[in-house]
Chain A
Amino acid sequence: MVLILSPFASSSPDGLEKVAQAKGFSHKGEQWSLWHYAPMRDYAIPWIKNEMVSTAFSGMIGILAIFLLILGFGQLVRKRSKT
């Protein structure tokens, strides 16, 4: 789904971004950030130049990451309930 559809995803600003731009506080979101180590900032893989491929791949990685994390969570949960 992500592989095929993400190239067509709208690049317009989303609801909150648009309101922030319209009402004049969007600059506040660009001044500082707490977390500097996001590997795939803005859903792009830095070294893949083709934007569509970059987005699609970052999505695939995210999907895999989430699935594995939930399974990991499941392991923790099972260990606890064994006691």
Chain B
Amino acid sequence: MHIPDGFLTHSINAATFIISAGACAYGVKRVNRSFGEREVPLMGVTAAFVFAAQMLNFPVAGGTSGHFLGAVFSSVLLGPWAGLIIMTLVLAVQCLGFADGGLSAIGSNIFNMGIVGALGGYGIFFAISTLLPKGRKSFFFALAVSSWLSIVLGATAAAVELAISETSPFLVTFPAMVGIHAIIGVGEAIITTAAISLILKTRPDLVVSVSPGYRRKLTQEGILHENPI
């Protein structure tokens, strides 16, 4: 889903760049306010993991492959703004170091995967887990659905951008993008829930997700246990 140079018009890329830059600037402020010496290395490890996992393409239907995104994973672990920053950094390194994604399109890529993926995905996760009765099943259901949606909505955003850029009509691109990414999204949901589940079992203290109210909620629900150490 890394858009190369040449797919989108400069206007779209400029618009998404401005939005993404603004969101990242705000995100840096938020992270600045709440993260300390403990959280930063955790951000580093999460970002490195997301980058590594994104390299591992898995075959999907008919000669196509997909890969893990990690937007919701990062956001649920460290909070939506840290999630955005992580996705942005991974995308920047991929673009500049590996020519994966065009530099002119970096705003659009960050918008689709960072803003829609991390912020939007986290919002969906938060909404679902708030609306459903508290408990382990709701938590993982919210996680699975928001992970799946982060992929599908990100792909939709790309289809919209391609349509506005007149690179390909919406009614042509949208079904094709959503079709493939609906399947990739299942992979994302599985990997995200498995990874978070593992972390909750082994190192629950790593689920930083900064707001204390959220940690309180998870502890109350018996999902997150205060680390006895």
> A: which residues have CB within 8 A of B?
1-2, 5-6, 9-16, 18-20, 22-25, 28-35, 37-43, 55, 58-59, 61-71, 73-74, 77-78, 80-81
Point out the residue from B5, B55, B155, B158 that lies within 8 Å of A29, measured CB to CB. Answer: B5
Please give the distance in Å from B95's CB to the nearest CB on chain A.
Answer: 7
Q: Does B89 contact A (CB under 8 A)?
A: yes
Question: Counting CB contacts under 8 A, is B146 at the interface?
Answer: no
Alpha-carbon separation in the docked complex, A32 to B6 (Å): 7
Q: Is B160 an interface residue (CB 8 A)?
A: no
B5 and A40 form a contact (CB under 8 A)? no
User: Closest residue of chain A to B41, judged by CB?
Assistant: A71
Residues A15 and B52 in contact in the complex (CB < 8 Å), given A20-B7, A74-B43? no
**Of A16, A31, A77, which contacts B31 at CB under 8 A?**
A77
Query: Which secondary structure dominates chain B's binding surface?
Result: helix
Pairs A–B under 8 Å by Cβ, sample size 16 = A1-B52, A2-B56, A15-B66, A23-B173, A24-B168, A28-B167, A31-B6, A55-B55, A62-B98, A66-B51, A66-B90, A70-B40, A73-B43, A77-B31, A77-B35, A78-B37
Complexed CA–CA distance, A30 and B5 (Å): 8
How far is B63's CA from A6's CA once the two chains are assembled, in angstroms? 18
Q: What residues on A are CB-neighbors of B167 within 8 Å?
A: 25, 28
Cα–Cα, bound, A81→B6 (Å):
40
Does B228 make an interface contact (CB < 8 A)? no
Are A29's CB and B7's CB within 8 A?
A: yes
* B residues less than 8 Å from A35 (CB atoms): 95-96, 99, 102-103
Taking CB atoms and an 8 Å cut-off, the chain B residues in 89-120 that contact chain A are 89-90, 93-100, 102-104
Q: A15 near B180 (CB under 8 angstroms)?
A: yes
B1 at the interface (CB under 8 A from A): yes
Contacting pair A5 B32 (CB below 8 A): no
Residues of B within 8 A of A37 (CB): 96
Q: A residues within 8 A CB of B177?
A: 15-16, 19
Q: Is the CB of A62 within 8 A of B97?
A: yes
B45 beta carbon closer than 8 Å to chain A: yes
Is B131 in contact with chain A by the CB < 8 A criterion?
Answer: no
A13 touches B98 (CB 8 A): no
Q: For A30, what are the chain B residues with a Cβ–Cβ distance below 8 Å?
A: 4, 6
| B225: interface (CB < 8 Å) | no
Q: In the complex the two chains form, is A77's CB within 8 Å of B55's CB? A: no
Q: What 15 additional pairs, Cβ within 8 angstroms, besides A71-B40, A71-B44?
A: A6-B56, A10-B65, A14-B65, A15-B180, A19-B177, A20-B168, A25-B168, A29-B4, A35-B103, A40-B98, A42-B98, A62-B93, A66-B48, A66-B89, A74-B43
